[in-house]
Every structure is written in C-alpha cells, then in structure tokens.
Amino acid sequence: MNSYPDTSFLCSLYRLQVYSPAAVAWMSARSNPLPVTSLLLLEFRQSVRFQTRLFSLDRSKGYPPAEGARMLRDLQSDLANGVLEVVAVDWADVHRIGENLSGKYTAQGGHRLADILHVATALHLASPEFLTFDANQRTLAAAEGMDVPV
C-alpha cells in the first residue's frame, strides 16, 4: 500500500472543484485500488449529505440534492468496481497514534480530530504517501515524514 487519501481528495474526485484535475490525474496514473476506511467513507458521505442540507436551506450554499446523489452513486460504483478498496484497520492503534499526534502538534498547529485520525490511519497502514488538498493536513502528514504529492 503506497497512498492513503483524505476527504478533500475524495471530494475533488467526485465533485468538480479547483483540485479535481490533479486528483483525477493522480487516479488515472494508478493501476491498483485506492485504500479507504470506513471512517473516511463515513466522513465523505456525511459531508455530501450536509452540503445538500445547506443547499435546501439556502441555495447560495452547498450543492443540489441531485449532485449529492450522483456523488454518492459514483462513490458506490467505484467501491463495487474495485477503484476504491475498503481496508480494515485496528482502530485502537489508530487512536493511540492519533493521541500521540494530538499531543505533538495540535497546540501549535490547530489540527481537527478528523484530520488527526486520517493521518493516524495512514501511519497505521504504513502509507508513505498522504493524498490531501488541505493545507493543515498536508503540514501534519509532512511533519510525520509522509510524502504529500498532490
């Protein structure tokens, strides 16, 4: 396993955004499935659902339900077709690593729990590459010696 993504990477794959060309190009060069965890999938799906709720309350925010439904369908299709592969992790170990990261970096870097858990998961999986478009997560992953190529 050589790479692990965060939610910003998945969002750039499933919704046209400024970083979508980079995410699509990275995926196009890949021949094996991209590993994901149940936590990453939960956060992505929750984000999509939350954005469609925002749109329903204020059409200047979020995005339409049809777009959210398409994103979730495309994600499910990629899971079914082996583009993404759900990998098992030892959540107790991920939490131990996350606690260590929190103690080392949060006071100075202001990292959120989900960001810490994604980087901790990548470390647990011994992924030397972390895929993110989030500057704060990029800093955290790089501080732990991971390459952040996109």
pLDDT digits 0-9 by tens, 54-66: 999 999 999 999 9
Cα–Cα distance measured from residue 150 to residue 91, given in angstroms and rounded to the nearest whole number:
26
Is pLDDT above 80 for 1? Answer: no
Q: What is the pTM of this model?
A: 0.92
pLDDT band (50, 70, 90) for residue 2: confident
**Domains with residue ranges and CATH for the chain:** 3-143 (3.40.50.1010)
pLDDT for res 94: 98
The answer to whether residues 108 and 89 touch, using CB atoms and an 8 Å cutoff, is: no
**How many C-beta atoms surround the C-beta of residue 56 within 10 A?**
12
